[in-house]
Amino acid sequence: MKLSSVLSLVNQVEKSKFINAIDRICGDAVKHDKKIVAQLSKLDGQIKNASSTDITQLFNIVLPYFEKSVREQLAMLGAQATLLTNILSRDGNSIARTTWVETLYSKEWDVINRRANELKSDIEALDDSESFSERKRLGIYHACFKEAYANDERINRDAKISDDERGILNVLAKKLDVTADDQAGVEHLVDQIPRNGVQDALNELREIGIVFVSRKRQTVYVPDEIVSLLHRLQGKELADKHLLRILRTFSDAELSNILKNHRKKIRGVERREKVASIMKLGVPVTQILQEDLFNEDINVNERKDRLKSLIQDLGLDLDKLGATLEERTAIILKTLNSCAEKEFNVLSATGFKELFSALQNHFPSLSKVLKQEFELEEQEELDVEKLRALSITPYDILYMLTNDEVKSVVESMGIKKRGNLRLNILNSFADATDKLIDNYAALARRDLASLKTSNIEVPEAEIGVKFEEVTKAIFEQLGLSVDEDLRRSVNTAKDKADILISLSEDDVIVGEAKTCKSGDFARYSTTSRQVKAYVNRCESAGKRVAQVLIVAPTFSEDFVESAEMDTEVNISLLEAEGLKRILDAYKSRRNPKFSAKLFTKGGLLKADLIAKNI
């Protein structure tokens, strides 16, 4: 979830520590940073009273200073805070109940403690005359870590690993090929991680501004921007889910090469186990793509060609490939690290829901697999809304399936088998959305007979939801920013807006999609109460509502007159067939010129005139 959405979701007390952290940083940096001075002048220096949007903009400006501050403070907090940030920055853990965070922490502690005890036995049995074996390398790393930790005591300081020392130890671990789980085990041997006190550690992380804790929901939130920051501090080049994508495209022989390069067992090991073992190594992705993937006799040009085919296998849409091996690697990493928004836009909300539903039908255990892979609570209800909040895209879900499972989906659904099978599945659901758009007017009128004639099967109970989702898809195809994160953050159990369109950082359009089976849509009093409640929710979140837009098959004369005379809120009305004509006109133009402001004129909008002027 984006920072702006988290800020809109939590109350003033719950975001106070984050704001205080930003305020402190601004106080130090304002003397020599003109951008911060300019942003603070917009706020009249009153950060605590700023809107969520203004705070987000300020955060983006002070991010380098914030990152430096977090790095320094995490080093002082010690091993428990490090373990906790490692857990919270993993895929799926950025929104979690505090009790579940404690459960994850306990599981992780047990794994590290078990490995530490194994390492202790190996290191104690080490003979100085022993050759440069794995046990010898671990002994060297342990001795260096112990020295780095204890050297402060000789000058009468608390023993700890400074940020500089950790950087040196990370280089040493890489050169000695000490895996991530062994590094954690050695650290636990030297500086034992406390088993309890997770709540206190969460409060410490909240103090430095990297987590938000909602007392009402008993939930911990780590915004996407801070997850990326933590990955940089950890030296993590890619999220685990993106590394998994890369590994799923490799051949068995290539997976074996990676494991051989780290002296891991490959004989009799199944493909799934190979992938899991590589994920646990903690090896930099750059090293995998430039070195570990290949046999020693493979030259640079052949390695570059392999990365070119990897780009095609991953379906990455790039403007340039890069001339060198290093450039191609950097482009792959950068594209995957910034792909979430683009991947959500590949499918409409309807398409995403239908994909998830279809995959669940094929694999009844899919939700269980996703919960295991992304460390979600067993009792958690998993739906598309939750997946979006956790930044889990349709691509991420398909890459949780093995290549054989993807093949079975393609075969059973009659999807074409050439090319990238995962992309073929996504495209088939994008086509399904287009089919609903083509029959948009019938959907608005709840005309089941017409829908069936077009081979569209929609249960009558789901038509309202489908109409809402297809309306969103149309707005997205018109190039508008349908803000699902904001909608989730402002919606309550009682007040649930259908659509929110962001015009800018501050301005939004509140959209409402209404179906009507017979006659004109005429329920103005009920509808106006709904949209005014949504407007109040948006304004409470620091947004300005530029317009309310209601889409329906047709409107009664009384409804149109009431909307035009309403003095409390600006309302525009748009007929469903008219919106479809606007989309058709937009698609027919080579360089269409369309602005959401065309929806802010008020009253019953003239769709033909809007279409003509696109």
Q: How far is CA 6 from CA 15, 95, 149, 503, 510, in A?
A: 9, 10, 37, 20, 20
Residues 472 and 521 in one domain: yes
Q: Which residue has the higher pLDDT, 140 or 434?
A: 140
* End-of-domain residue from the set 338, 365, 390: 338
Structural contact between residues 305 and 290, judged by C-beta atoms closer than 8 angstroms: no
Structural domains in the chain (count): 4
Between CA 218 and CA 100 the distance in angstroms is 10
Tokens coding 593: 């010129």
Domain-embedded: residue 343? no
Residues 507 and 485 in one domain: yes
Tokens coding 66: 């914030």
pLDDT > 90? residue 107 = yes
pLDDT > 80? residue 349 = no
Section 466-483 average pLDDT: 91
pTM of the model: 0.79
Domain-embedded: residue 451? no
For the chain, helix (H) and strand (E) counts, in that order, are: 32, 9
Residues 199 and 65 in one domain: yes
| C-beta atoms surrounding 321 within 10 Å | 14
Residues 179 and 229 in one domain: yes
Tokens coding 138: 């671990």
Section 31-59 average pLDDT: 81
Residues 187 and 107 in one domain: yes
Between CA 568 and CA 106 the distance in angstroms is 53
Residues 86 and 229 in one domain: yes
Confidence (pLDDT) at 497: 92
Confidence (pLDDT) at 542: 83
Which among 519, 379, 373, 343 has a CA at the least distance from the CA of 446? 519
Domain-embedded: residue 273? yes
Beta strands, E only, 408-493: 481-482
Residues 6+ away with beta carbon under 8 Å from 347 = 355, 394, 426, 429, 430, 433
Residues 296 and 393 in one domain: no
Q: How far is CA 402 from CA 270, 349, 420, in A?
A: 12, 25, 14
Between CA 462 and CA 464 the distance in angstroms is 6
Strands 544-552 and 571-575: parallel
3-state percent helix, strand, coil for the chain, nearest multiple of 5: 65, 5, 30
Between CA 549 and CA 563 the distance in angstroms is 11
pLDDT > 70? residue 329 = yes
Angle of helix 198-207 relative to helix 79-88, nearest 10 degrees, comes to 80
Confidence (pLDDT) at 102: 96
Residues 216 and 104 in one domain: yes
Q: What angle do CA 304, 305, 310 make, to 5 degrees?
A: 95
Tens digit of each residue's pLDDT (9 = 90 or more) over 174-209: 889 888 889 999 999 998 999 999 999 999 999 999
Residue 216: pLDDT band by 50, 70, 90 thresholds? confident
Q: How far is CA 161 from CA 78, 147, 173, 444, 545, in A?
A: 8, 10, 15, 63, 50
Domain ranges, residue 516: 461-614
User: Per residue in 520-537, is it b (16+ CB within 10 Å) or e — as a string?
Assistant: ebbebeebbebbbebbeb
Tens digit of each residue's pLDDT (9 = 90 or more) over 539-554: 888 889 999 999 999 9
Domain-embedded: residue 251? yes
Between CA 533 and CA 550 the distance in angstroms is 14
Domain-embedded: residue 120? yes
Residues 141 and 58 in one domain: yes
Domain-embedded: residue 454? no
Between CA 9 and CA 48 the distance in angstroms is 16
Residues 206 and 62 in one domain: yes
pLDDT > 70? residue 45 = no
Structural contact between residues 552 and 521, judged by C-beta atoms closer than 8 angstroms: yes
Cβ contacts of 261-269, under 8 Å, gap ≥ 24: 261/291, 261/292, 262/177, 262/179, 262/292, 263/134, 263/177
Looking up residue 537, the CATH number of its domain turns out to be: 3.40.91.50
Confidence (pLDDT) at 256: 95
Domain-embedded: residue 484? yes
* End-of-domain residue from the set 193, 215, 234: 234
Residues 151 and 245 in one domain: no
Which among 92, 138, 463, 109 has a CA at the least distance from the CA of 244? 92
Tens digit of each residue's pLDDT (9 = 90 or more) over 119-161: 999 888 877 766 778 888 899 999 999 999 989 888 888 888 8
* End-of-domain residue from the set 177, 203, 234: 234
Average pLDDT, the chain: 90
Residues 154 and 25 in one domain: yes
Domain-embedded: residue 453? no
Largest CA distance in the chain: 95
Between CA 470 and CA 440 the distance in angstroms is 8
Between CA 142 and CA 521 the distance in angstroms is 74
Angle of helix 224-234 relative to helix 52-77, nearest 10 degrees, comes to 30
